[in-house]
Chain A
Amino acid sequence: MKKLLPYLAALLFSWLWVPSLLAQQKTISGKVTDNKGNPIPNATVTVEKTNRGTMTDAAGQFSLEVPENSNLVISYTGFRNQVIPAAKLASGSQVTLVEDVAKLDEVVVTGLATSLKRRNLANAVVSISSNELNGVAPAQTFDAALNGKIPGAYINANTGAPGGGLSVKLRGVTSVYGNTQPLYVVDGVFVDNTATSAGINTVTGAASTGATSTQDNPSSRIADIRAEDIENVEILKGASAAAIYGSKAAGGVIIITTKRGKQGRTRVNISQDLGVISARKLLGVRKFDADKAASLSSDPATSEALRQQFIAAEAAGKIYDYEKEVYGNKGFARNTTLSLNGGSEKTGFFFSASQKAEDGIVKRTGYRNTSLRLNLDHKLTDNIKIGIATNYINSSADRSLTGNDNAGVTLGIALSSTPGFAELHPDENGKYPNNTFAASNPLQTVALMRNNESVNRFLTGLTLDATLQKSDRSTTRFIGRGGFDFYQLETNALFPAELQFQTVNKGTSMQGNTQNLNTNFILSLVNQFRAGEQLNLTTSAGITQEKGDYNNLLNVATQVITDQSNVSQAGALSATQFRTKFQNSGFFIQEEALIRDGITVTGGVRFDQSSNNGDASKYYAYPKAGLSVNLTRLNVIKQGVVEDFKLRAAYGQANNTPAYGSKFTSMVVSNIQGYPGSLVNIQRGNPDIKPEKQTELETGFDIAFLGGKLGLSATYYNKKIYDFLMLAGLPASSGFSTQWTNAGDLQNQGVEIGINAKPVSNRKVNWNTSVNFWLNRSKVTKLTVPSTPLGSFGYVLGTYQIEEGKSATQLVGLNGQGVGVLGDAEPDFQMNSYNEVTFFNKLSLRFLLHWKKGGENVNLTSMQNDFGGTSADYDDVTNDKGLPDGVYRIMQVGSTAEVFVKDASYFRVREIALYYNFGTIPSIKFVKGLRVGASLNNYITITNYKAYDPEVSNFGTGFSSGIDVLPYPASKRATFHISIDF
């Protein structure tokens, strides 16, 4: 049996196992500290070019048996590696690690089971540390915490409603109406990010039929994840890095690693945040006088009545600012986190329990999230490690009723036509008057309605890492990772009968129940082989499988019995069920070669089949390859001012599977008087639908100067999408309106430039900064279907339109002469800067700046307010016709959409915070650390965009972001933080 082992290894990995020679041994011990003298626990100490090593204990101490003439490599996350000849190291000596500003030694995930140091990486992989993610001015949800932090991304908050809902597009749009969102992987588990509607379309009628629509603005389920638990986030932005994730990787991959237990004394931390949430901006309301009130009606008698109504209201002091009453509330936010972190030599654990509760800026809205996490790592033997990450989350969001509608029921639509002299307040019996200016009374709507999403979610990720064989030259490991993501989502929307707009339905109660189970596994063998002094090979191969099973059941009850929400207490009940299932299976092989410690060559391929493809049995291949050449390591450039200089290029392919059900021409249910009816769906099936294929070529360089105190990185990418998936418009006379089609090719090209620096570093002040610049340009290079407007409200108001030779995100509309290009949702460029300035090692100022230059929105918020005669600048006269601006702008409806397609540039101080670290408190022995701080999130925005916020999307996370229709206004937050270590 023993003889078979090298044979098998050779069979699998095509090279032989060569045993190493034994050398003279000696024992060395020492202490590892940072430059301030603080011990670094859990630092890795290894003998260079071998697998032998240990870790430092809680006091930073280590002891290791090493060969006489070897070098020791000491490394720890966030610090530069130190290489010290064993001979130079006297027992008990101190090793000081310096901070890794340029992040050269950061370890980055490059395969499904392998990783590389950043200095050898062929891709520009963004990584976000827990401090950057959550350590400045924490956002409400994880997805919001990513905003402004990923160079190369266009992140957009769809709505300000509590509970989140963001769209993330990495390196441009990858699909037109296909999935454009990245894949999220938490501790090896592919998590679900579906946005499930509560059936709001039943009351809003935003889309013409059905209980749900793309305009219902639910939250994205990735929002459930707690940012506090996260150690690190890595973003693989395109196929060149993400190909190995196969058919789910076309939108990029966001790899989330949660905190793990560290050896040593159990550290207990309690953190408490208290904050205030308020609207980022209110638009203000029109200042009426008697004449303006009278001008609301063209009918002389009504006009006079309005004049009298205004005069009476003014005399009684009853002129209100309803916008402020509805959106101007202050919400209280609290967040408590308890975490325990510790471990022995064999077992490490991280436990956290946390709860946050936040009110929204609209009364009776808010967000609550309770989470429990237990991460365990255990060494079964020296060769077998198991890890388990478990997370239970309970979240609940009350999101109110905002956005587009065709029934006049949302808060925004109702406010848009309600002047301040209307009386909407309840009488002494608590009865709300009908709003005579709109279909609903927004104060009554806020007071009586409910739109809640609540989630119970379990996430479990398992890792088994078994070293199958190990020698000084070769290590073979079996790495199995997998897990499941299960959640149950309940949506609960209630509109009682006494609401002004419930005169027909007499009370509507909608209860939705969704269960989703995602499972996935990756089983792989990884061989690390030291073929010689100058060649290291890492081979991995394995199999993967991902499965998803989503089941949404929505009951819509109308004619509801007074004060009841139970759907059976109703005169009429309609049920809708929607299910999806998929299974992707694949296998992969990947080879990484490190030559002379300076050249890295990577190649890999993944084969995948998916039940969503037209041909479910067909395997698609996704290859990738990368090359990085480190000129300083190869001594082509002498180390000096330039510490490290690397050139890199990478290429990869990834696919995006078609949406579930693309293949079928369904017959949907359409009943009449109790007779069950089948009616052809408006979407025509496409049995030939293929996945869209993406190829990405990325190239760039990374330079570190001045001992790693200054890092510069530049990347260019060219991402081509072939056969992109589009829900194309069909000639409706065919009986069908849409069909999923492989509609053509498009291209995204872009540039990303980043600088990391430590401009000031002395005993008093330390300043770490990073500045990033990025831009993306897209172009539709081929279109095989007729070009039609999509994703908005047509030419009259400005719309997207896919057109050959044009930008994929162009906005077109009427321009006075016909239909022309009016703008583009793609920003000209974006920049961000993250800074941390520490004074005397105690006080630290952190801030994140974000500048989006260019990129247009379709601003229908202002249009609606003009149409309702209530916009704050309605009576200004800045147009050449000498008319009130509100009148002038409405006159443009139908002749030009230029007044709606508006530049949505902004400069934003996303996060700014001041923290003071007391360190240990001598008088209180058991307190090992104390930090206090204050932070502001999204407090300062400079923009010319005239609506609540330039970040908005009425159509949620899909392709067509930036359509602005009276959303829940975005909020800002001021928070006080205290954190105690025990």
Chain B
Amino acid sequence: MKHNMLLKIALLLLGSVMFLGACKKEYGNLNSPTVEDFLKDATQSQLNNLVSGTESGMRNEITLYLDDVATIGREGYRFSGSEPRYVTDLLGANEAQLTNNAFYTTNPWAARYRVIKNCDVLEASANRSTQITAEQKKGYSGFAKTIRAYQLLLALNLTYQNGIRVDVSDPNNLGPIVSYDNGLAAIISLLDAGKTDLTGATVSFPLSSGFSGFNDAAGLIKFNRALAARVALYQKNYTASLSNLNESFFDLNGDLNTGVTHEYSTGSGDQLNGMFIPQNQNGEIRPAHPSFATDIVPGDDRISKATLRTSTASLQGLSSNRDVWVYTSSTASLPMIRNEELILIYAESKIQQNALPDAIVALNVIRGKHNMTPYAGGVTQSALLNELLYQRRYSLFYEGHRWIDLRRYDRTNELPKDRTDDDIWIQFPLPNTEG
């Protein structure tokens, strides 16, 4: 009898747990929302989260992007005790090449397209949301398009003639890689579409203080047009660059630093400005290229962008006695585009249109602001171009321009090689995952 009882108990137990055990269990995502949560019917606060995520994500790998451009453009070096490839691959030491799967190629590319994907999610979520007005939708989509265009431009700046992918909305069915020229054209039309959306839109989302003065529809249009002016300049379409400047925040007599910036803070989940390295550090430093000080005109106050070190830094046959000192704290702003660049775009467009006096006026604004005497050199297109490139080099030092500027004029061969076997690259390969 005892045995039977036990058997009964055992069978009961087995039966009941079998029933319980067979229940389907789904835990969902315990750590974060999923894309689907946003696409269903996003609330305004969810959409605002996407805007902030987009703005925040734009800062990812921007340090590496600037180091890539500045190192190849011989603005400075990135000395690292732990990462040799900054001074081997990027400078083309010995036989070294830029490779398609190294961090300097893949990380900036991936970070830009990640933001683009976020812009896609933002636009799609806003379009499907029933909780916002049509004007609000236009605000979100205009912002998304403008940022997407800016991110594409940064990707294209590195890969240049190797091109970029523009149509990336369906991850299973990516569009083709398009050439440099087609890439620029696509970016311009995206900016134009963004401007159209922003026109008459309601901006009901918060942006960081980096957008202060530009955080409404009119302000975002100005930002959009400033970017369009830069792209038109790259396209050598000087009429367009000048007309875009007119709709931007370009101000010949305004503050050079007016513009849109990345902002940093010590808040939870926020970032610090990785371009900041305190002065006179060792091991992990960002020294200026020695030519920065040797090429500068005496008296130019922009010498303060690279301060003298207490001791010279050396690594692998490279030496420098100046630290890059553009970003002077861990929460310093990092410009996306600012008035000083717009004035220089104006000057360059005028030179190209042979409106040389207009160009000289603009160049003298820059010179005046930097403790230089008015321009007294030759009044020819080529002399003024040299002057312009000098001003761009020092005004936009470590903002991601010199290499691109010299490349636009096919003058990268003017860059100095520090070691006999170094190379000057003109573009990065496409990441090897792009196939």
Contact = CB atoms under 8 A, between A and B. Distances in A.
Interface string A407-439: 110100110110000000000000000111111
A404 interface: yes
Nearest to B58: A672
A406 B107 CA distance: 14
B113 interface: yes
B296 to A, nearest CB: 19
A922 interface: no
B117 interface: yes
B81 A413 contact: yes
A916 to B, nearest CB: 50
A525 B25 contact: no
Given A5-B3, A302-B314, A679 B265 contact: no
A408 B81 contact: yes
Given A406-B82, A476-B7, A577 B31 contact: yes
Q: Which 8 A-B pairs have the closest CB atoms?
A: A894-B96, A735-B117, A439-B283, A572-B266, A895-B95, A677-B52, A677-B53, A297-B314
B57 A667 contact: no
Contact of B80 (A408, A521, A672): A408
B319 A466 contact: no
Interface stretch (B33-41, B135-143, B377-385): B33-41
A675 B33 contact: no
B376 interface: no
Contact of A734 (B7, B93, B164, B174): B174
B101 interface: yes
Interface stretch (B244-252, B268-276, B338-346): B268-276
Interface residues of B, number: 111
Interface stretch (A69-77, A179-187, A860-868): A860-868
27 contacts: A209-B60, A404-B82, A406-B284, A408-B284, A417-B81, A438-B283, A468-B7, A469-B7, A480-B13, A503-B278, A504-B278, A559-B266, A573-B268, A577-B31, A585-B23, A587-B21, A671-B267, A672-B56, A675-B55, A677-B269, A682-B114, A731-B433, A788-B101, A795-B102, A892-B95, A893-B85, A894-B94
A413 B312 CA distance: 21
A8 interface: yes
A705 interface: no
Contacts of A867: 81, 84, 316
A208 interface: yes
A585 B19 CA distance: 11
Nearest to A413: B82
A318 to B, nearest CB: 19
Interface in A884-924: 890-895
A727 to B, nearest CB: 13
B114 A680 contact: yes
B388 to A, nearest CB: 32
Interface in B9-68: 10-11, 13-14, 17-18, 21-27, 29-38, 46, 48-57, 59-61, 64
Interface in A260-319: 296-299, 301-303, 305
Pick from A405, A436, A733, A894 the residue with the most CB of B within 10 Å.
A733
A542 B51 CA distance: 53
Contacts of A609: 22, 24
B354 interface: no
Contact of B317 (A298, A416, A545, A680): A298
A680 B94 contact: no
- Residue among A436, A668, A793, A894 facing the most chain B CB atoms (10 A cut-off): A894
Contact of B17 (A5, A543, A890): A543
Interface in B250-268: 263, 265-268
Given A616-B24, A680-B121, A894-B88, A672 B263 contact: yes
Interface in A718-733: 729-733
Given A434-B282, A578-B31, A673 B96 contact: no
B193 to A, nearest CB: 19
Contacts of B208: 672-673, 675
Given A405-B82, A414-B283, A666 B33 contact: yes
Contacts of A8: 7, 11
Contact of B433 (A407, A788, A892): A788
Contacts of A297: 312, 314, 319
A92 interface: no
B110 interface: yes
Interface string B120-159: 1100000000000000000000000000000000000000
A895 B272 CA distance: 35
Contacts of B367: none
A666 B34 contact: yes
A436 B311 contact: yes
B409 to A, nearest CB: 28
B4 A575 contact: no
B35 A665 contact: yes
B109 A674 contact: no
A1 B82 contact: no
B209 A796 contact: no
Find the residue from A434, A543, A730 having the highest chain B CB count within 10 A: A543
A1 B7 CA distance: 11
A473 interface: no
Nearest to A476: B7
Nearest to B167: A733
A434 B311 CA distance: 13
B38 A893 contact: no
Given A664-B29, A735-B116, A674 B278 contact: no
Given A678-B49, A678-B50, A734-B168, A5 B311 contact: no
A575 B266 contact: no
B435 interface: yes
A5 B53 contact: no
B219 interface: no
A363 interface: no
Interface in A12-40: none
A525 B13 CA distance: 11
A539 B175 CA distance: 59
A883 to B, nearest CB: 11
B3 A585 contact: no
A622 B376 CA distance: 85
A611 B28 CA distance: 9
Q: Taking each of B2, B171, B174, which has the highest tally of chain A beta carbons within 10 Å of its own beta carbon?
A: B171
Interface in A773-826: 786, 788-789, 793-796, 799, 814
Contacts of B61: 208
Nearest to A503: B278
Contacts of A763: none
Nearest to A666: B32
Nearest to B82: A413
Contacts of B278: 503-504
B414 interface: no
Contacts of B97: 894-895
B192 interface: no
A88 interface: no
A698 to B, nearest CB: 30
A908 B1 CA distance: 62
Given A302-B319, A545-B17, A673-B208, 10 more contacts: A4-B4, A408-B284, A469-B7, A585-B21, A678-B46, A679-B56, A681-B32, A735-B116, A894-B85, A895-B96
Interface in A187-238: 208-209
Interface in A589-605: none
A393 interface: no
B34 A667 contact: yes
A468 B10 contact: yes
A676 interface: yes
Which of the listed residues A297, A480, A796 has the most CB atoms from chain B within 10 Å of its own CB? A796
A303 B18 CA distance: 78
Given A543-B17, A559-B266, A466 B10 contact: yes
B283 to A, nearest CB: 3
A616 B10 contact: no
Interface centre among A439, A440, A731 (most CB of B within 10 A): A731
